[in-house]
A and B are shown apart, each in its own frame.
Chain A
Amino acid sequence: AQSVTQPDIHITVSEGASLELRCNYSYGATPYLFWYVQSPGQGLQLLLKYFSGDTLVQGIKGFEAEFKRSQSSFNLRKPSVHWSDAAEYFCAVGTWSSASKIIFGSGTRLSIRP
């Protein structure tokens, strides 16, 4: 079964600084990978996804993520954060199979220091 680990529960960065949120997955075959963002009391919004092809994927709001098969990682990055980026970020993994479901990590809460 697939699983996702987000090792950082809470991260604080200064506005304008760069950001990297870590995600490691466990799955025996080729996964497909996602990053979602959730603002307080809201549903989840998809930031970006990786299915195949170029391992560096671009998403909305200036985010990007890189799939590294050798490290089983899919870290999320942004070169310069804005105060509006403060939210909860979830990494998720799905599988290429007919019995597909999407499994989420426990999330990383991002705070922005003015």
Chain B
Amino acid sequence: DTGVSQDPRHKITKRGQNVTFRCDPISEHNRLYWYRQTLGQGPEFLTYFQNEAQLEKSRLLSDRFSAERPKGSFSTLEIQRTEQGDSAMYLCASSLAGLGGEGTEAFFGQGTRLTVV
């Protein structure tokens, strides 16, 4: 297993277009996170899944954003009708939650850099 992988690494799109990003977590990890990072800032939490269930969504995640993890393995993050303000690095991470639900460290992918022009 080579870690968390994200595809594509870079995406340039015109304002108003839809984009979809994919994340493949570490295979045995049951928890998957999406974060957004803008220049000079720390990663901002967007949402996370435990297996296929989406447990929490940040208020940052507007109606134009949707995330899925249909079989509890890979995940997709779709942004509809992109805006220039969506330009950012989108980071995916995975972790293995314990039997009691407690979390552990998250392992991050390289990210997808989105530029909306």
Contact = CB atoms under 8 A, between A and B. Distances in A.
Interface residues of B, number: 29
B101 interface: yes
Interface in B15-56: 31, 33, 35, 40-45, 48, 55-56
Contact of A107 (B31, B42, B55, B104): B42
Nearest to A108: B42
B102 interface: yes
Contacts of A96: 102-103
A11 to B, nearest CB: 15
A103 B44 CA distance: 7
Contact of B91 (A44, A97, A99, A100): A44
B113 to A, nearest CB: 8
B106 interface: yes
Given A44-B43, A46-B105, A99-B56, 19 more contacts: A34-B105, A43-B4, A43-B108, A44-B108, A45-B108, A49-B105, A94-B103, A95-B103, A97-B102, A100-B97, A100-B101, A101-B33, A101-B45, A101-B48, A101-B56, A102-B106, A103-B45, A104-B45, A106-B42
